[in-house]
Chain A
Amino acid sequence: MPSNTRPDQQHFVAPIDETPLVAIDSVKADGKPSNLWRDAWADVRKRPMFWISAALILLVVIVALFPGWFTQVAPNNDCQLSNSNGGPTAGHPLGFTKQGCDIYSRIIHGTSTSLSVGLIVTFLIAFLGIVFGAISGFYGGWLDAVLSRIGDIFFSIPYILAAVVVMSVLSRYANVWVISLAIGAFAWPATARVLRAEILRVKNADFVMAATALGVSRFRILLRHVLPNSIAPVIVITTISLASAIVAEATLSFLGVGLPTSTMSWGNDISAAQHDLRTAPQTLILPSIALSVTVLSFIMLGEVVRDALDPKARAQR
């Protein structure tokens, strides 16, 4: 073997016996297999923002499920007009609304409304988005053309404006389900678009071809191979849409086309307090804080999940 080094040249490359190849290419054969979800969990676990948002969300869920643990004061029945816009007193830590109701109790009891709307809308968006996105991405052709155009039409109407129209017409039937349907029916195309794009990318992967070669049916390939590998962006977008749905409900209630005033809702309370901003700002600001903190916790969770599931976002951190 001819030597390429001049006699006086020092080693630029280490001799083979100094760096055993095993050390470079070593594979931990007994280690757990890594995948997107395990990596994501390892990443998420290290971030304080995840634990803060998880703790806040847990608190919100507990408050929504068991309001009785937090307050004994009835939000609607114990109201006395003599307390109108009053400050804090013993047993009523946050003072009173214009109608003389306990603000703290109303905030506690309004939690479940916001959370229910958020959850129902999110399920609706995920369901419609996955069905439309998966079918149009995976099967393509005329089905894709038709479904994508339908999505375009729904996408072209800002969903709060659409919900304003729906809720104006259905104002007599307004409740948590109707308002969630009104928001969700127009908010799904974004999810469908994201999933469709991801499926277009995944469906040409080798493992899909392998499954086809093994004779797995098309539907089963979609369900077992393509969908699990393209669902990550959908999870990110649905976490964030939970926050948007809560804001949408509050905005509609604020505009007066949301939930009936008899329903406990932060949006309704903020709307009712708007005319007393000068004299009793706390009646408006306290429910606003509850609303914003809840939204913030879901937004933060969405951020963390996005960073964990999207390597590009992780690189930019």
Chain B
Amino acid sequence: MAGYIVRRVLQAIPVLLGTTFLIYFMVFAMPGDPIVGLFGEKTPPPAVLEQLRERYNLDQPFIIQYFIFLGNIFRGDLGVSFSGQPVVEILAQTFPVTLRLAFLSTVFLMVGGIAAGLVSGLRKGGIFDASALVVSLIFISLPIFVVGFVGQFVFGIQLGWFRTTVGSGAPWSDLVLPAIVLATGSFAQIVRLTRASVIETESQDFVRTAASKGLSRNRIVPVHILRNSLIPVVTYLGVDFGVLMVGAVVTEGIFNVPGVGRTVYQAIIRGENPTVVAFVTVMVLIYLVVNLLIDLFYAVLDPRIRYAK
């Protein structure tokens, strides 16, 4: 196990360097003055320009600039937002809210998606299966901002079940609707993955053995079938984390959730591109770390991964 962890962490290092380099390259190796380019059609005050030039060491060769930028990241210095607040400080304030939203959303996703996938898989070809397929196709096709606005309109404005925007302090009750909206982005994938996995597991020998031993269906389904069907679903959560992050930017923007996503959303809307770049870098780093953790967790679940080369 220790060997696997070391190998996997070592593999992550070039990817980490590569992604940060790529982001930096996209911003600072574009033709023209990158600082002016960052502001698009807006003309920033000269003081801001001067400060950014200094911060990004544009007088140095490109590769040196990148290493200074990388060094800053590892020292926890992510720059300053337009309002003068350090990005790290904003992260500390907003990240817990996003974490709660993501947690709630994942709970909805897992409970709803796995339940629907399990029933579909067990009653393959039945009415529930057919309707779950149709619903999941529709959910895949609806962009998350459409789901967000329709949810806000129907449940917030027309039915009045939820507040349309999240109040200060982001209480759990206000996060329910955004979390459901966020969960719809991956709902279909979870349902299908669970369904396929359940169908495959159900035809395994150990399920037949359990049935011929005389175990009741109530024991076979949760213990033998469901547990063994969950491994691919858990792995998918890693891939899904990327969808979740993009979804969080949109959902938090729509519902005004005071999290990392809304900060990015507002920075994009206002054209504060240096802030956008800083936050996207952080999000990509989080994404990499989460996927690394899931890989390690997966190795705990499935010994074959540990021993494979």
Contact = CB atoms under 8 A, between A and B. Distances in A.
A288 B147 CA distance: 9
A164 B268 contact: yes
Contacts of B137: 296, 299-300, 303
B143 A168 contact: no
Interface in B10-42: 14-15, 18-19, 22-23, 26-27, 30, 34, 37-38, 40-41
Contacts of B146: 270, 288, 291-292
B40 A168 contact: yes
Q: Is the interface of A mostly helix, strand, loop or mixed?
A: helix
B273 interface: yes
A273 B35 CA distance: 32
Q: Chain B contact residues (Cβ within 8 angstroms of A): what range?
A: 35 or more
Contacts of A153: 14-15, 18-19, 22
B143 A255 contact: no
Contacts of B288: 156
B157 A158 contact: no
A162 to B, nearest CB: 8
B19 A256 contact: no
A169 B26 contact: yes
A281 B146 CA distance: 12
A171 interface: yes
Given A168-B273, A169-B38, A292-B142, A152 B15 contact: yes
B152 interface: yes
Interface string B236-258: 00000011011001100110000
A158 B243 contact: yes
A263 B246 CA distance: 24
Contact of A274 (B149, B277, B287): B149
A228 B11 CA distance: 33
Given A251-B143, A316-B124, A165 B242 contact: no
A245 B291 CA distance: 24
B245 A158 contact: yes
Interface in B141-156: 141-146, 149-150, 152-153
Interface string B187-207: 000000001100110000000
B138 interface: yes
A251 B146 CA distance: 10
Given A149-B14, A295-B141, A296-B141, A165 B26 contact: yes
Contacts of B19: 153, 156-157
Contact of B268 (A158, A168, A303): A168
A284 to B, nearest CB: 6
Q: Is the interface of B mostly helix, strand, loop or mixed?
A: helix
B300 to A, nearest CB: 22
A113 to B, nearest CB: 15
A164 to B, nearest CB: 6
Instruction: Identify which of B14, B141, B243 gathers the most chain A CB atoms within 10 Å of its CB.
Output: B141
B163 to A, nearest CB: 14
Given A156-B288, A157-B23, A158-B287, A288 B150 contact: yes
A278 B164 CA distance: 10
B242 A158 contact: yes
A254 interface: yes
A297 B268 CA distance: 31
Interface of A: 149-150, 152-154, 156-158, 160-162, 164-166, 168-172, 243, 247, 250-251, 254-257, 270, 274, 277-278, 281, 284-285, 288, 291-293, 295-296, 299-300, 303, 316-317
Interface of B: 14-15, 18-19, 22-23, 26-27, 30, 34, 37-38, 40-41, 124-125, 137-138, 140-146, 149-150, 152-153, 157, 195-196, 199-200, 242-243, 245-246, 249-250, 253-254, 264-265, 268-269, 271, 273, 276-277, 280, 283-284, 287-288, 291
Given A156-B15, A169-B27, 13 more contacts: A152-B18, A153-B14, A157-B22, A158-B283, A161-B280, A161-B284, A162-B23, A164-B268, A169-B30, A171-B40, A254-B143, A254-B250, A316-B195
17 contacts: A150-B18, A156-B284, A158-B283, A160-B246, A168-B40, A169-B30, A171-B271, A172-B41, A250-B145, A255-B250, A255-B269, A256-B268, A274-B149, A278-B157, A284-B149, A299-B141, A300-B137
Across the A-B interface, the 5 shortest Cβ-Cβ residue pairs: A153-B18, A158-B242, A296-B141, A171-B40, A295-B141
